[in-house]
Chains A and B, each alone.
Chain A
Amino acid sequence: MEQLDHFRAQVRAWLEENCPASMRTPVVADEDICWGGRRFVYQSEDQKLWLERMAAQGWTVPHWPRQYGGAGLDRAQCKVLQQEMAALGCRAPLTSLGVIMLAPALFKFASEAQKLAHLPGIARGEIRWCQGYSEPGSGSDLASLQTAAQDMEDHYLVNGSKVWTSYANMSDWIFCLVRTDPRAPKREGISFLLFDMTSEGVSTAPIRLLSGASPFCQTFFSDVVVPKANMVGEPNKGWAIAKYLLQHERNMAASLGRPGSGRKKPMEQVALETLGDDHGKLADPVLRQSLARLQIREQAFALTMQRVGDEMKAGADPGPASSILKYCGSEINKQRHELNLAIHGMAGLGWEGEVFDEGRIARSWLRSKANSIEGGTSEIQLNIIARRVLGLPATS
């Protein structure tokens, strides 16, 4: 305990000394988020400095071992760091798909040489990664993917196309599911390949979404040469890695259902201000009931997240829970956005101009529709629950 207090004092002093003042203000705009990578345009010198200083400490990924760019902190120390950063209002120095999506797979499945080659670059925010999973012809049926990596003796030759590649046009490297055996059953001919997005033959085209934003790309590969050393795990064994990462992704997507995520003012306050009150009750009795039902679902969901977390700490298998949480979380978030639209009425459907906050309400409502599609649709989650959790027989 005394050691931890000592550590806390050290952390606090270091943060006081090294966190630039502008990095102690709340994240408001998209540009406030630091994604890192070779193509990243830093919002300010401070943003760059903050990333570099934290990376040098190993504190972008404090729980990773030192040889991979972390600080080797234990759980209690990580919590202290988190608490001290929160106390000072420090921004996250790095937001990274490499950290949250790729690294768990590398730690579990990659060779030592691959870990040493890729993890430190992720930790320092030098290399930004994107994920090559879905294809134009392979959405929910992910395992039917067709992007081919042909074995050319001393390298692989990659041809095909990926879609919904988040920020592919800003990323340096891609982790990609490719077909290495076209004759094997679909799940047994897939491999997990890493390659540089500046390789010859790689091109990207942003996709404009309903919300007007373009965070995703379609990505094209034409005779891309990839060294054999870039395959994670054995050839044709990539589906196990894919499934592992998908489960991981579901766990993160689930947090959408938590009350208050992505919202500044409590919804009941917005509702009271917008709809007015009648002797302390929300003036519209039907919307009042809808709001109560939503908040009941939010609270029940938050308690379930807590229970699942506590069960995992007690040694339970998180496997079955991730589909339940992904399904409920995304459906609740959609419900929340629908109710938010209803409460705001026509003003919630404004698209441009300051009066409508540039369509913030409508755009985030549109974004929420993707929640039950990305990372495995709600229907896929229900299939998983029915088959793997409830043990119902396969559909013939």
Chain B
Amino acid sequence: MPLVLSEEQRLLQSTAESFFREKSPVSALRQLRDTRDFDGFSRPVWREMVAMGWAGAGLPVRFGGLGLGFTELGVLLEASGRTLVASPLFSTVVLSATGILLGGNEAQKSALLPRIANGDLLVSLAHQEGPRHDPDAVAARAVARGDGYVLNGTKVHVVDGHVADRFIVAARTAAATAGASGVSLFLVERSAAGVSVERRIMVDSRNMAEVRLQDVAIASADLLGELHQGGRVLNAILDRGNIALSAEMLGSLRAAFERTLDYLKQREQFGQLIGSFQALQHRAAKMFCEIELSRSVVLKALQAIDSNAQDIALLASLAKVQLAETFRLVSDEAIQMFGGIGMTDDEDIGFYLKRARVAQQMLGDEHYHVQRYAALRGY
């Protein structure tokens, strides 16, 4: 498959970019933050995204989706990343819909996916328990009782958890053995007895939550995928999540770079534009090279999901390392090149620095994924 976007994909890209530029510029995120908005995202903008079919972009038509691929989903995320749009696109559409599609049975899929596609249902993935990404570290337990299970544990950094109607929860059902993680995935209603959710305000003004599960009764019909085998589905979700997140990061870091470049072309010091200084030109050129490498790995990884390639896991770690390091570089350089003005809250560029670190950390930062890449390459 050629490593370029098709004409239809480019059209979607320009539609999405102008939509977000108009409906959800960085000032929209600033306003959500300053008004301490209850949802942390704009429901009217989300409804418009749903109306365009984006909540079901990657879902099959029979579940109310547009039947597009992950590449198209990546195009949407990249566009939304440009203006740091807060929306359930990542939590509900990328992580959770993918999880239901990969792990769910026919009944679960037809009950939930159409409701995701039409915007009725927000679902969050609740897998993490510690401050750093570690998908194997699952201490939450589900014990069989009667016709179902009883769930106990605490999940942290659950993306969009405070607005979710439902959670996909990873819980231990057995000790890990060769070939099986001993972890299972469950669909949990937010309104179920024993579920408590507390919003956590993060540095990037986007949304996370802590989810406590105390003696939550789960019907056996809400087991997602096979018992004890949830680790495999979880890893598949995380790979796709990292690739989609990398696409979003690509949009954000490209926008941050463009803003920085514009600034270099208008700020004068010593009687000349600071962009004429070679010390800054070379650093800008190096950033541009890293951005070019980033574009290639993101597109390749998205296409790999759509063609169900063998090396999705490797490409997910590759993309996350490249994008995390490039976003770090670009956001740091942006602040330095903006100088004092970049340190002020009035200037938007700071939002990109804040988002950079959260996005890097989410689902594993570059330190985690370098090690995973080595392991996947057999050393």
Contact = CB atoms under 8 A, between A and B. Distances in A.
Interface of A: 268, 271-272, 277, 280-282, 288-289, 291-293, 295-297, 299-301, 303-304, 306-307, 310-311, 313-314, 321, 324, 327-328, 379, 381-383, 385-387, 389-396
Interface residues of B, number: 39
Given A301-B293, A306-B296, A382 B377 contact: no
B374 A292 contact: yes
28 contacts: A268-B379, A280-B375, A280-B379, A282-B374, A291-B379, A296-B321, A296-B322, A299-B297, A300-B318, A301-B293, A303-B296, A303-B300, A304-B292, A304-B293, A307-B4, A307-B295, A313-B2, A314-B2, A321-B292, A381-B285, A385-B285, A385-B288, A386-B278, A386-B285, A389-B288, A390-B261, A392-B261, A392-B265
The 6 closest A-B pairs by CB, nearest first: A386-B281, A385-B285, A292-B374, A303-B296, A307-B3, A382-B285
Interface string B314-358: 000010011000000000000000000000000000000000000
Interface string B280-314: 11101110110011111101100000000000000
Given A268-B379, A385-B289, A393 B265 contact: yes
A296 B273 contact: no
Contacts of B275: 392-393
A288 B379 CA distance: 7
Given A307-B295, A395-B276, 18 more contacts: A288-B374, A292-B377, A296-B322, A303-B297, A304-B295, A306-B296, A306-B300, A307-B300, A310-B2, A310-B3, A311-B3, A324-B289, A379-B282, A383-B278, A383-B281, A393-B272, A393-B276, A396-B272
Contacts of A391: 265
A292 B296 contact: no
A313 B2 CA distance: 9
Interface string B1-30: 011100000000000000000000000000
Contact of B281 (A321, A324, A382): A382
Contacts of B171: none
B66 interface: no
Nearest to A385: B285
B370 A296 contact: yes
B289 A295 contact: no
B22 to A, nearest CB: 26
B138 interface: no
A295 B297 CA distance: 13
A395 B293 contact: no
B281 A282 contact: no
A271 B379 contact: yes
Contact of B296 (A307, A379, A389): A307
A368 B317 CA distance: 29
Contacts of A303: 3, 293, 296-297, 300
A354 to B, nearest CB: 29
B289 to A, nearest CB: 5
Contacts of B261: 390, 392
A299 B285 CA distance: 21
B322 A272 contact: no
A336 to B, nearest CB: 15
Interface in B85-109: none
A391 B282 CA distance: 13
Interface string B352-379: 0000000000000000001101110111
A321 B292 CA distance: 9
A246 B321 CA distance: 33
Contacts of B2: 310, 313-314
B277 A395 contact: yes
B309 to A, nearest CB: 13
Contacts of B169: none
A304 B318 CA distance: 13
A383 B286 CA distance: 10
Contacts of B288: 324, 385, 389-390
Given A300-B296, A390-B261, A395 B374 contact: no
B286 A382 contact: yes
Given A282-B379, A392-B276, A296 B285 contact: no
A259 B129 CA distance: 38
Given A268-B377, A295-B373, A296-B321, A328 B4 contact: no
Interface string B248-281: 0000000000000100110000001101111011
Contacts of A386: 278, 281-282, 284-285
Contacts of A301: 293
A100 to B, nearest CB: 25
B254 to A, nearest CB: 13
Nearest to B291: A324
